[in-house]
Structure 1
Amino acid sequence: MRLTLYTDYSLRTLIYLGAKEDGQLSTIQEISDAYNISKNHLMKVTHQLGLLGYIETIRGRGGGIRLAIDPKTITIGEIVRHTEEDFHLVECFDKENNLCKIAPECQLKGVLYEALQAYLSVLDRYTLDDFLHSKEKLMALLLGK
């Protein structure tokens, strides 16, 4: 299964914010520069992460963004579920647009659904904090040091 860039950017943004010193603010431009990704895309990502309660936005001069909750409470599976638009691995997963003639008798859908659940189950076992054990090294890489 391939994750969208939106999910990728969401995860990277959370890792970046988690690698910062507690409470330290970052800007979207700073994150964009660190990962060499579009500021416009990151604005959309950070907006949704804010609406979901993962990040806090401080407006005004000297403002920025930071994690709003403990990284130990954010599972990777939860982020993926919130940021992926659909999990239709095959046409028959989409009841409204399914035109497959063998869908009523096909066993493949069940196997693929089981595989999807196993995939998400693995992601649920990891929290954002699991990826933040070497914060100094992460920040050095991100800042090109």
Structure 2
Amino acid sequence: MQLTTHTDYSLRLLIYLGIHSGDRPATVQDAANRYGISANHLAKVAQTLVQLGYIHSHRGRGGGLELALPVAEINVGAVVRQTENLQLLECFGPNSTCPIDPACKLKGVLGKAQQAFLEVLDSYRLSDLISNRDRLRKLLDVA
């Protein structure tokens, strides 16, 4: 299964915020620079994560981003479910036009595979993804 850039950047931003420490809050620009990705795209991702309640955004001088929840409470599977379109094929939606949909076994197989994928993601928290915090900080040059 391939995740969208939006989901990828969502997970990256959560990781960045999970390892960020310092005198000032993290910023979208700083995170984008450290990952070498688009700040504009990351700003849209941050907005999504604010709406979903994973991060807080503070405006103005001294403002920035911070996690809204402890790292142990952010479930990777939940983030993926909320940021990703999990409709693998047209037949996974309510308006399937496939003529074999009523007898199709492929849909069931793909559904089981997707469920297994999500169950693995459900078994991880942000805290698991940043358990090597020192190494991540070094790689991203985060103080």
TM-score interval (norm. to shorter): over 0.9
1:82 alignment counterpart: 82
Output the amino acid matched with 2:70: D
CA deviation after TM superposition for structure 1 residue 93, in Å: 1.0
CA RMSD of aligned residues (A): 1.8
CA deviation after TM superposition for structure 1 residue 24, in Å: 5.4
1:11 alignment counterpart: 11
Whole-angstrom distance in 2 between the partners of 1:25 and 1:114: 41
1:110 aligns with 2:108: yes
TM-score when scaled to structure 2? 0.93
Residues paired across the two proteins, number: 143
Contact 1:92–1:100, Cα closer than 8 Å, also in 2: yes
Consecutive unaligned residues of structure 2, counting only runs of 5 or more, are: none
After TM superposition, the structure 1 = structure 2 runs for residues 1-145 of structure 1, keeping only pairs within 5 Å, are 1-21=1-21, 25-84=25-84, 86-96=85-95, 98-143=96-141
CA deviation after TM superposition for structure 1 residue 75, in Å: 0.7
Compared CA separation, residues 46 and 144, structure 1 to 2 (3 A): closer
Deviation digits for residues 13-58 of structure 1, max 9, x if unmatched?
0000001138951011000100111111011000110111111111
Whole-angstrom distance in 1 between the partners of 2:22 and 2:115: 34
Whole-angstrom distance in 1 between the partners of 2:128 and 2:90: 35
CA deviation after TM superposition for structure 1 residue 74, in Å: 0.7
Secondary structure at 1:110's aligned position in 2? helix
Output the amino acid matched with 2:58: I
Whole-angstrom distance in 2 between the partners of 1:123 and 1:40: 27
Secondary structure at 1:60's aligned position in 2? coil
Contact 1:24–1:66, Cα closer than 8 Å, also in 2: no
